[in-house]
Amino acid sequence: MAVFSALYGAGHVIFSRAFVSLPVPIGTPDLPNQTIIVTGANTGLGFEASQHLARLGVGKLVLAVRTLSKGEDAKKQIIDSTGASDSSIEVWPLDMDSYESIKLFAGRASLLPRLDGVLANAGVMTTKFDLSEGNEKTINVNVISTFLLCLLLLPAMRASEKTTGYTCRYVIPNSALHYMAPLAELEPNGHAILSQLNNRETSNMSGRYPLSKLLVLYAVREFAHRTTLSGKGACIINTPNPSFCKSNLARESQGSKGFQVAESVMARSTEEGSRVLVHALLTNEDTNGQYLSNCKVER
């Protein structure tokens, strides 16, 4: 981790909170015809983003959740607050800890008449080392499973573009913490990167979430590059940073006094942070492969 990068990341959070007023999302003319999926949609940024989309009149909104009962509760709240019709919102099961669940979900989504956006919001932030599908859980959920879902949906996203003329957006939330990611575990030491990250004895879990977001950024750039060169059609993939927000993501830290003070002073509301994610879903093709911050491309 370069000191300059860490200082830049910290300064960016302060600047964003003190001086940036995020635009409230506005709809697009074609939104009432579109189908958009939001993972992790029953709480936090995913829930608030879903509320914006419903308010803006999206044609079909799929709430992808691990627990169906919580998804149904979220659907009811969204309908009550936005006036969206019951038929415009569906609740589907999806567990990003399970490759089988991801495959089943992608198969079902591939049967949709069109697919215009995916907000891959579901993620984890923990300092505890656990394995998920044979890989360290943070890397598995935030990186591997997120791109597994993207690759499995790619044929459907390409087919939808051919039918509608609209290129699907695939959005993965990022974080300014990626500037502070420890890089030692990415150094070539005679082992594959995943083998190093899956080593319980040497894992640096305090920096694992920032590292997962750095890997997301690398993968977004590479995915955009390769799909563009393929000539087979692609999606627009980007990775927006909602900045420090009040949400359930950092639940392990929420009990500490220091975190509570920092959150009260520096954190955006969950609704404010979700504006960045909705912007990334509805924005133009210039964002393909890009990191976004404060609703703008940051080089």
Name the band, by pLDDT with cuts 50, 70 and 90, for residue 6.
confident
Mean pLDDT value of segment 206-232: 95
Mean residue pLDDT across the chain: 92
Reported confidence tier of residue 212, pLDDT bands at 50, 70, 90: very high
pLDDT attached to residue 268: 86
Q: Catalytic: which of 209, 218, 246, 257?
A: 209
CA distances (Å), origin 290, targets 202, 229, 293, 296 = 32, 16, 10, 10
Domain contains 9:
no
pLDDT digits (tens, 9 = 90+) for 42-54: 999 999 999 999 9
- CATH code of the domain containing 151: 3.40.50.720
What pLDDT, on the 0 to 100 scale, is given for residue 8? 77
Residue 194 is assigned to a structural domain of this protein: no
Of the candidate ranges 2-11, 57-66, 199-208, 281-290, the one whose mean pLDDT is the lowest: 2-11
Catalytic residue among 60, 75, 213, 246: 213
Between CA 243 and CA 229 the distance in angstroms is 32
Residue 199 lies in a domain: no
Q: Per the domain annotation, does 4 fall within a domain?
A: no
- For the residues 10-14, what does the mean pLDDT come to? 76
The count of structural domains within the chain is 1
The DSSP secondary structure of 121-177, one letter per residue, reads ------SS--EETTEEHHHIIIIIIHHHHHHHHHHHHHHHHHHHS-PPEEE----GG
Sorted by sequence, the CB contacts under 8 Å of residue 230 that are 6+ apart come out as: none
Q: Domain for residue 229, yes or no?
A: yes
Mark whether 291 is an active-site residue: no
Structural domain harbouring 279? 34-174+207-251+261-297
In a domain, 191, yes or no: no
In a domain, 185, yes or no: no
Confirm whether 12 is domain-assigned.
Answer: no
Q: pLDDT tens-digit profile of 15-41?
A: 777 788 899 999 999 999 999 999 999
Catalytic (active site) residue 103: no
